[in-house]
Structure 1
């Protein structure tokens, strides 16, 4: 039995590892190249679609530029849909060594934010991470690619899949899915054909629906991106830019707030002669409404009135915490709205069933496309959990 995995990020890497380990012949096809994690930042693809959306196109995908956050997002949502991921989450916690980091990995800026949040009555907690503290030397560059290989990326799963015989095909964009008699038969990359009995599309919430649209599946609606802004201001010589990002979080019903440095803030604070080491910031990440859509030729995602209201509420709270931490209130500024977690474009119940299968037999989706709504928090752990569950289903059904 042959399986093709399109995409090598959190979903694709997980399915590839699990299927290869079970003895299924696996080929992973990736649009981007194999790259060293230190060079991951060179593979960013920024889409300006009303909201700025970031993607990373290389083997390992966006996992190479995550900041290692390990949150069990949407667990209750999926449980209400009949998808219990508790055992998969437990497996992931063990495999990825998910835990909060020791106090030695918290810088002065994050400590000030945590103390100030508590003094204002907010419940702030350490962020669970899939980062090895023995290898991590905080430098503030997680989102560029870890120079010390201290955090988990799906490259670990891809390499493990290779040990079990999986074939990795890089620099090969899949251009179509081959279907015959209501069953999937493989994929195409331009004129090259890859035959398979099972195809799992894990190309991300932008490219996955485009592939599904080409074979007549109504995907691409209800795009969300976990919209965020970073609010910050001047606190001289805090050296927050060298700290481990988002090492703590405050949870609200529809958004989270966490320590975050952005060079955009430095640029906006030039009238105050700001240097990178003088800026303290907080990210506000919301559960944005699924107001976007993906077509073959465009991506559209604007912020709704509700999105703007949530960003404003979170920004006001963030501002109060920063001022309490010592930031000069006259210097408070915000970045523009951005999005880092596109999803929803092949949602469970609309495009795929509870086993992540489309209307085409043996054609599955395993990425954030299948989320029915925005998590408003880092989705990596949940994508891995869904992919693990899918791999178990495939092994049980197909062998």
Structure 2
């Protein structure tokens, strides 16, 4: 029976570990971080300064603990053009995770005002599909800090199932080197200990995965996107938007999306004027940025291109119009600095891996946002889950 090492416990790692363990394959998952109470996940933010701040989390379950629970299909057509049809996997996951919009009881006044304002100016803003259990969810605005009621799906759900199926999960064990023998994978190194494996699947994220690939002599990390975003916000007194479910609606523009979003960075600016978090209404502008960044061994570089800045400006202008229509004082409108939410593209399909997510080294696979060929411009979690489910099927069928 094949021995598989999975490096990383986020969306890709947890899913492929679960799929393989369920098929009876020996799986050992190595995670750099440690386990933590979900409600304390915000303590594990491990952001990177790369010209824009890149948001990521290091802990068991990875960044899935601090997502907003969004479950949109991304990159589906582009992946299909590369020979990867995820329709079945998307459907399986949407059914399994009960993906869909939250009930009306979970839409706060601020989000409803934004949706109504968008409609008034002729824009269609839909309810965001979520993998959130509405029976457990009591809106509190803490989605991006770690759900205190475990109402939101996270990788911990799949990690627990993988463990029940026989997978071994080892925390505080960063993979630091890929080991090969005669052009084939033979294992990995963590804490000077070699873990032997017939198959290695890198799911360490778009920053660490290319660095690991380079230890095996592969070229990776030369293209980086980050789904650059800003939050535009202003004053609407006593709206209490900060306690609402984050990103509960979605407008799809040309190259960007808008979604209701509260940011503490805006709150810190408003305090100087005597206003507080309860008085802020905001919209996130997230763009499909260009793959203009790169990951080096000791630093990450990602600056906004002129095209990126143009999309941010266009989206921010539209966000300001919607917020003003919703009742925000236009003179109070401000924007956060640009940040990056979803680093990816550093081991892209067709460049570093093939359509089965395998590198040129036999038995070495990648399954995280690194493999996405371009920026999704929207939360990619469901797409990564689908890629991981497909990879689990492929390995179970061809290597067991």
Q: Report TM bin, short chain.
A: over 0.9
- 1:330 counterpart = 2:331: yes
Q: Which residue of 2 aligns with 1:307?
A: 308
Q: Which residue of 2 aligns with 1:321?
A: 322
Q: Which residue of 1 aligns with 2:101?
A: 100
Q: Which residue of 2 aligns with 1:348?
A: 349
| Deviation (angstroms), 1:272 | 2.3
Which structure 2 residue ranges, 5 or more long, are not aligned?
Answer: none
Contact 2:70 2:128 in 1 (8 A): yes
Once the two structures are superposed, residues 327-347 of structure 1 have per-residue CA deviations (whole angstroms, 9 ceiling, x without a partner) of 000000000000110000000
Determine the C-alpha separation between the residues in 2 that align with 1:74 and 1:145: 26
Once the two structures are superposed, residues 258-295 of structure 1 have per-residue CA deviations (whole angstroms, 9 ceiling, x without a partner) of 00000111112234211100000000000000000001
Q: Which residue of 2 aligns with 1:17?
A: 18
| Deviation (angstroms), 1:96 | 0.9
Determine the C-alpha separation between the residues in 1 that align with 2:230 and 2:281: 14
What's the secondary structure of 1:184's corresponding residue?
strand
Q: Which residue of 1 aligns with 2:282?
A: 281
What's the secondary structure of 2:47's corresponding residue?
strand
TM-score w.r.t. structure 2 length? Answer: 0.99
Q: Which residue of 2 aligns with 1:120?
A: 121
Contact 2:345 2:369 in 1 (8 A): yes
Pairs within 5 Å for 1:1-399: 1-399=2-400
Task: Provide the aligned length of Structure 1 versus Structure 2.
Answer: 399
Structure 1 outlier segments of 4+, above 4 Å: none
Determine the C-alpha separation between the residues in 2 that align with 1:362 and 1:49: 32
Determine the C-alpha separation between the residues in 2 that align with 1:313 and 1:274: 27
Bigger mean CA offset, 138-147 vs 271-280: 271-280
What's the secondary structure of 1:361's corresponding residue?
coil
Contact 2:173 2:191 in 1 (8 A): no
| Deviation (angstroms), 1:46 | 1.3
Determine the C-alpha separation between the residues in 2 that align with 1:119 and 1:11: 40
What's the secondary structure of 1:45's corresponding residue?
coil
Superposed CA RMSD: 0.6
Once the two structures are superposed, residues 91-138 of structure 1 have per-residue CA deviations (whole angstroms, 9 ceiling, x without a partner) of 100111101000000000000000000000001100000000000000
| Deviation (angstroms), 1:150 | 0.2
Determine the C-alpha separation between the residues in 2 that align with 1:37 and 1:138: 16
What's the secondary structure of 2:46's corresponding residue?
strand
Which structure 1 residue ranges, 5 or more long, are not aligned?
Answer: none
| Deviation (angstroms), 1:207 | 0.1
TM-score w.r.t. structure 1 length? Answer: 0.99
What's the secondary structure of 1:72's corresponding residue?
coil
What's the secondary structure of 1:250's corresponding residue?
strand
What's the secondary structure of 1:56's corresponding residue?
coil
Bigger mean CA offset, 280-289 vs 46-55: 46-55
What's the secondary structure of 1:33's corresponding residue?
coil
Contact 2:232 2:284 in 1 (8 A): yes
